[in-house]
Chains A and B, each alone.
Chain A
Amino acid sequence: MTRQADQTVNERQVALNVMAGADATQMAAIWAAWPTPPAFEAVRGPETGLVMVRGRAGGGGAPFNLGEASVSRATIKLESGEIGHGYCLGRDLEKARVIAVFDALFQRDPVAVKTRVLAPVRAKGAAHDQQRRNETAATKVDFFTMVRGDV
């Protein structure tokens, strides 16, 4: 693979990762507000199935099957020919379908998807995670040493 192709794959992968973690209502809102929704047809799905989630013994050892998770997926084809795939945890078929459409659009117009989809999704996700981190950090134990005679 050429370096440029590598980078395209990498960017597409990052885009799919970001969208999979997005809040479903946010994705639906972005899609509803999309200026010129492209025509597309379903190639597969959207459908719900299971992925067996694996862990590792001891955290870093041999893999084992932890349990399944519900996953939705969709494959669509834009009128202009690009094929997009969408995968996400849960049973929200519409979210999988919207991810697939944006994945296809990303191949045609990455800038639009980056600015209109990835940027707001990332911003919301980052804010949510940071709030979680800050709440957790408040419960961090600060040890101090008791000096003899202190009590």
Chain B
Amino acid sequence: MYVAVKGGEAAIANAHALLADRRRGDRSLPALGIGQIIEQLGLAVDRAMAEGSLYDRELAALAIIQARGDLIEAIFLVRAFRTTLPRFGYSRPIDTGRMLIERRVSATFKDLPGGQVLGPTFDYTHRLLDPEIASGDDVPAPATRDTVPENAPRVTDLLAHEGLIEPDNPLDNAEDTVGDLTREPLQYPLDRDLRLQALARGDEGFLLALGYSTQRGYARSHPFVGEIRIGEVEVEFDVPELGFAVSLGRIRVTECQMVNQFKGSAKVPPQFTRGYGLVFGQSERKAMSMSLCDRALRARELGEDISAPAQDEEFVISHLDNVQATGFVEHLKLPHYVDFQAELDLVRKMRAEQQEAAE
């Protein structure tokens, strides 16, 4: 018989103290500062912010240190923190067309107003480990070129006129009907606004794999990168006590416009359709994966056959959140003594019955 027991308080307290010790590591080495993480591990910070769904670089950096560099744990910490703060309201939609651009490339159109600017990219590096970085030597200042502020309209806006590329429709729904999955439980089928919100905070690895699957033929969507842009945009907020909108400051985002060849359907003529990715911070891989998944998930709207995992809305959206996923997977390691005891008894009973029947 199984008797419920209590215990482990001292073990748990000591385990947490040990965790703190191991996190700090060798005391003869200087402790990491938040500023170092923000400045030198900026893309890890960006991932913790994007999937933590909270734009705050200091908090994300603190979470990364506390989580010993385990990014999913850091994302969990950020998500937990956000539940402690009151919600002041919703911003006006950011305007990525008015971005202070740090990188902007198009794989489809060579000559664009504003040009192709590579920015701080890993592209075209040789992926050779550089031992000089380990020496901590100073890095020369980057090259500069005198320039004047220049408009760089979104590629998709430039080409929308011809009708060959699906245009944006800002009137699809009003601002007061925008779904918010942090407020209302999801009910399938979803509208695109809720899917985009879920994708924007979804796990980069999961979206990357699904996006990859669409390229390999599971819901083939013939994608091209219409444009990727990274840079800072203003966040504007309507302040009721002032009676007008003010800027709260700027945030860095990555936007990806995927254009996809589309043979047309009963509802839509042949044209290039689009998938959209928008992510906090600098994260091109995530923005690209998001736009591939967004496009695949528009199958129902565009009258396409739903045949592949990436098109299955409930499958994708239910499994893309790494905090939910890790919670459910990792809970298996917590004590299940009673459940297992019950199952043991059951299996013993079934074996006895089987043996009896055989005799």
Interface residues of A (CB under 8 A from B): 9, 12-13, 16-17, 20-21, 47-71, 73, 75, 85, 87-91, 129, 131-141, 143
CB distance from A89 to the nearest CB of B (A): 4
Would you call B244 and A13 a contact (CB within 8 A)? yes
Chain B residues contacting A65 (CB-CB under 8 Å) are 90, 178-182, 193, 197
Interface assignment of B327: CB less than 8 Å from any CB of chain A: no
Cα A54 to Cα B243 in complex, Å, equals: 20
Interface assignment of B208: CB less than 8 Å from any CB of chain A: no
Interface assignment of B96: CB less than 8 Å from any CB of chain A: yes
Interface assignment of B264: CB less than 8 Å from any CB of chain A: no
Q: Which of A20, A67, A138 contacts B145 (CB 8 A)?
A: A138
Q: Which of A20, A48, A63, A134 contacts B144 (CB 8 A)?
A: A134
Would you call A59 and B55 a contact (CB within 8 A)? no
In the A-B complex, the 7 residue pairs with the closest CB atoms: A62-B172, A61-B168, A60-B168, A69-B55, A89-B249, A137-B147, A134-B144
- Pull 18 A–B residue pairs with CB atoms less than 8 Å apart, ordered by A: A51-B90, A53-B91, A54-B178, A55-B94, A55-B278, A57-B168, A57-B196, A62-B172, A62-B192, A62-B193, A66-B197, A68-B53, A69-B91, A90-B56, A91-B56, A91-B58, A132-B100, A140-B115
Cα A71 to Cα B56 in complex, Å, equals: 9
Chain B: CB-nearest residue to A129: B100
On whether A21 and B168 interact (CB within 8 A), knowing A59-B156, A68-B55, A71-B88, the answer reads no
Would you call A67 and B249 a contact (CB within 8 A)? no
Would you call B145 and A52 a contact (CB within 8 A)? no
CB distance from B115 to the nearest CB of A (A): 5
Chain A: CB-nearest residue to B249: A89
Q: Interface-forming stretch among B79-87, B310-318, B333-341? A: B79-87
Would you call B116 and A140 a contact (CB within 8 A)? yes
State the main secondary structure of chain B at its contact with A: mixed
Chain A: CB-nearest residue to B154: A59
Chain A: CB-nearest residue to B115: A140
Q: Interface-forming stretch among B18-26, B233-241, B348-356? A: B233-241
Cα A129 to Cα B201 in complex, Å, equals: 29
Chain A: CB-nearest residue to B235: A53
Interface residues of B (CB under 8 A from A): 49-50, 53-56, 58-59, 82, 85-94, 96-97, 100-103, 110-111, 115-121, 142-147, 149, 154, 156-157, 168-173, 175, 178-182, 192-194, 196-197, 200-201, 234-235, 237, 239, 241-251, 253, 255, 257, 274, 276, 278, 280
Cα A42 to Cα B108 in complex, Å, equals: 55
Would you call B280 and A17 a contact (CB within 8 A)? no
Cα A67 to Cα B180 in complex, Å, equals: 10
Chain B residues contacting A59 (CB-CB under 8 Å) are 96-97, 154, 156-157, 168, 255, 257, 276
CB distance from A95 to the nearest CB of B (A): 10
Would you call B54 and A137 a contact (CB within 8 A)? no
CB distance from A76 to the nearest CB of B (A): 12
Would you call A53 and B94 a contact (CB within 8 A)? yes
CB distance from B225 to the nearest CB of A (A): 14
On whether A56 and B115 interact (CB within 8 A), knowing A63-B178, A85-B242, A91-B56, the answer reads no
Would you call A89 and B257 a contact (CB within 8 A)? no
On whether A54 and B90 interact (CB within 8 A), knowing A69-B54, A129-B100, the answer reads yes
Would you call A138 and B142 a contact (CB within 8 A)? yes
CB distance from B100 to the nearest CB of A (A): 6
Would you call A20 and B54 a contact (CB within 8 A)? no
Would you call B92 and A69 a contact (CB within 8 A)? no
Chain B: CB-nearest residue to A143: B110
Would you call A16 and B247 a contact (CB within 8 A)? yes
Max count, chain A CB within 10 A of own CB: residue among B86, B144, B239: B144
Cα A55 to Cα B248 in complex, Å, equals: 15
Chain B residues contacting A62 (CB-CB under 8 Å) are 169-173, 178, 192-193
Chain A residues contacting B103 (CB-CB under 8 Å) are 136, 139
Cα A70 to Cα B85 in complex, Å, equals: 9
Chain A: CB-nearest residue to B120: A139
Chain B residues contacting A13 (CB-CB under 8 Å) are 242, 244-246
Q: Which of A49, A53, A63, A67 contacts B193 (CB 8 A)?
A: A63
CB distance from A107 to the nearest CB of B (A): 12
Would you call B246 and A89 a contact (CB within 8 A)? no
CB distance from B201 to the nearest CB of A (A): 6
Chain A residues contacting B196 (CB-CB under 8 Å) are 55, 57, 64, 66
Would you call B85 and A60 a contact (CB within 8 A)? no
Would you call B101 and A136 a contact (CB within 8 A)? yes
CB distance from B242 to the nearest CB of A (A): 6
On whether A58 and B88 interact (CB within 8 A), knowing A20-B246, A53-B55, A87-B246, the answer reads no
